[in-house]
């Protein structure tokens, strides 16, 4: 846990130092004052964004003596660069911390580097080149097995579904639509699909399909409020024997508010919370609330 926090602090200081010599504000370069997260911003040549996200949630698997309670913290560094007005490349570097509390046995903390994600986003269509109101993006990427296989104090590996990395090469694709009114209102919607391959010792995590929609009202130049809904379907994990891993897979839909705040030029802070409104999991599973905090710098 201490290593995770140290990584976060060092990254924040480095990004803040690098952000000072920005050539011009992002509003001047793209013609739109909307406060946006990475992935739905108006692209322009050599736009560079970087930041950090903290995401905390809880999950329960199994029941009785087989029950396990998980508290999950995902700390991620991310960066996006547009070498061309229509092309953006992105990198996500996660650090995963999981507190495991089984009904029987000793609690454990699984703490380590996760799997990097490298992606490319292409602007397929927009209504105009400067200050566009409608944009459609296509995305493709690859999750790489950069996370090590962690072991406990006695040298035994943690369960495969609790490892910070899957040990597999997983491609993904997606599409995003963004609408900007140029003033108060904006809206975003996206869908994605991830194909998973075999990882550690023949264990395969379930394939996933996800979607989300966000409506944003920005009554001030420095602040906005959002209402969002997102859903995720995941196929059950598969054991090396070919059988299904119990209590994995299913569908969850979340709903929640968010606030977006810009304390200074080219810096955005987003705080969001969500509750599961649909939980259609396989086996015995239960999700809890999620809280997310992200900081985004427009470096160029």
Q: How far apart are CA 277 and CA 254, in angstroms?
A: 6
Nearest-angstrom CA–CA distance, 9 and 17:
12
pLDDT at 185: 95
- The pLDDT confidence band at residue 1, using thresholds 50, 70 and 90, is very low
**% the chain with pLDDT above 70:** 90
Domains parsed from the chain with CATH numbers: 2-298 (2.40.160.40)
DSSP tag of 160? G
What tens digit of pLDDT does each residue of 217-264 get? 999 999 999 999 999 999 999 999 999 999 999 999 999 999 999 999
Confidence (pLDDT) at 16: 45
Please identify which residue in the block is written with the tokens 């427009």: 298
pLDDT at 108 exceeding the cut of 70 = yes
> Is the full-model pTM beyond 0.75?
yes
Could you tell me the sign of the dihedral formed by the alpha carbons of 44, 20, 218, 232, in that order? positive
DSSP states of 144-155: ---S---B-TTS
Max CA-CA distance within the chain? 61
């Amino acid at each position: 846990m201490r290593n995770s926090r140290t990584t976060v602090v060092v990254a924040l200081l480095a990004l803040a130092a690098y952000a000072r010599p920005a050539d011009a504000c992002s509003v001047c370069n793209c013609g739109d004052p909307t406060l946006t997260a990475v992935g739905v911003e108006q692209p322009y040549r050599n736009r560079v964004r970087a930041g950090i996200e903290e995401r905390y949630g809880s999950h329960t698997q199994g029941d009785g003596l087989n029950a396990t309670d998980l508290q999950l913290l995902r700390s991620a560094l991310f960066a996006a660069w547009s070498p061309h007005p229509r092309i953006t490349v992105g990198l996500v570097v996660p650090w995963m911390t999981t507190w495991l509390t089984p009904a029987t046995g000793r609690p454990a903390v699984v703490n380590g580097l996760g799997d990097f994600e490298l992606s490319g986003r292409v602007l397929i269509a927009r209504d105009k080149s400067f200050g566009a109101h409608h944009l459609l993006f296509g995305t493709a990427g690859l999750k790489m097995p950069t996370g090590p296989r962690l072991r406990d104090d006695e040298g035994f590996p943690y369960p495969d579904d609790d490892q910070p990395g899957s040990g597999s090469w997983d491609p993904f694709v997606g599409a995003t639509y963004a609408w900007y009114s140029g003033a108060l209102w904006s809206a975003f919607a996206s869908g994605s699909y991830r194909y998973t391959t075999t990882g550690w010792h023949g264990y395969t995590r379930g394939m996933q399909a996800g979607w989300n929609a966000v409506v944003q009202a920005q009554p001030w130049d420095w602040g906005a409020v959002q209402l969002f809904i997102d859903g995720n379907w995941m196929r059950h994990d598969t054991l090396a024997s070919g059988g299904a891993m119990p209590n994995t897979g299913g569908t969850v839909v979340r709903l929640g508010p968010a606030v977006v705040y810009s304390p200074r030029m080219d810096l955005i802070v987003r705080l969001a919370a969500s509750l599961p409104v649909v939980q259609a999991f396989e086996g015995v599973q239960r999700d809890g609330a999620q809280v997310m905090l992200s900081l985004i710098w427009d470096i160029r």
